[in-house]
């Protein structure tokens, strides 16, 4: 690879010999993910002639669709507090509705 990569895109198409077979490879050096610093995608041979810009666009879309790793699971306490808040809002709505029927009904 060339030493001057300052103007290069984060995605670089590379041809490499893998087990004696010529493959088209996309090396993603900036994944925008705190867990992964690099990703390597092997281009389907049927789509290798699609053009560099189209392959790069599909690679970005594919990696973007993967999203961030899932966060922590909610604790039982957090779930219970959420349900309590929901019940309180529901009770407040019922009380307001009952008061309106009592005064205006």
Taking only the tens place, the pLDDT of each residue in 61-104 is: 888 777 655 666 778 898 999 999 999 999 999 999 999 999 98
Residue 99 placed within a domain? yes
What local confidence, expressed as pLDDT, does residue 9 receive?
46
Confidence band for 7, pLDDT divided at 50, 70 and 90: very low
58 and 81 share a domain? no
Residue 11, pLDDT above cutoff 60: no
Q: At 58, is the secondary structure helix, strand, or coil?
A: helix
Residue 17 pLDDT > 80, yes or no? Answer: no
Whole-angstrom Cα distance, residue 81 to residue 86? 9
Q: Please tell me whether residues 56 and 79 are part of one structural domain.
A: no
How many structural domains is the chain composed of? 2
Does some domain include residue 4? no
Same domain, 61 and 87: no
The mean of the pLDDT values for the chain is: 77
pLDDT at residue 72, as a whole number: 63
Task: Give the Cα separation of 40 and 90 in Å (integer).
Answer: 51
50 and 96 co-located in one domain: no
Residue 53 included in any domain: yes
User: Do 15 and 54 fall within a single domain?
Assistant: yes
What is the domain extent for residue 60?
Answer: 11-66
Residues 35, 38, 41, 42, CA torsion sign: negative
């Amino acid at each position: 690879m060339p030493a001057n990569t300052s103007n290069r895109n984060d995605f670089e198409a590379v041809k490499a010999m893998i087990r004696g077979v010529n493959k088209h490879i996309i090396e993603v050096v900036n994944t925008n993910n705190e867990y992964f610093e690099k990703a390597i995608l092997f281009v389907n041979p049927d789509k290798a002639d699609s053009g560099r810009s189209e392959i790069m666009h599909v690679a970005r879309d594919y990696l973007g669709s993967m999203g961030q790793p899932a966060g922590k699971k909610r604790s039982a306490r957090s779930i219970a507090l959420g349900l309590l808040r929901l019940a309180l809002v529901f009770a407040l709505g019922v009380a307001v509705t009952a008061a309106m029927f009592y005064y205006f009904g």
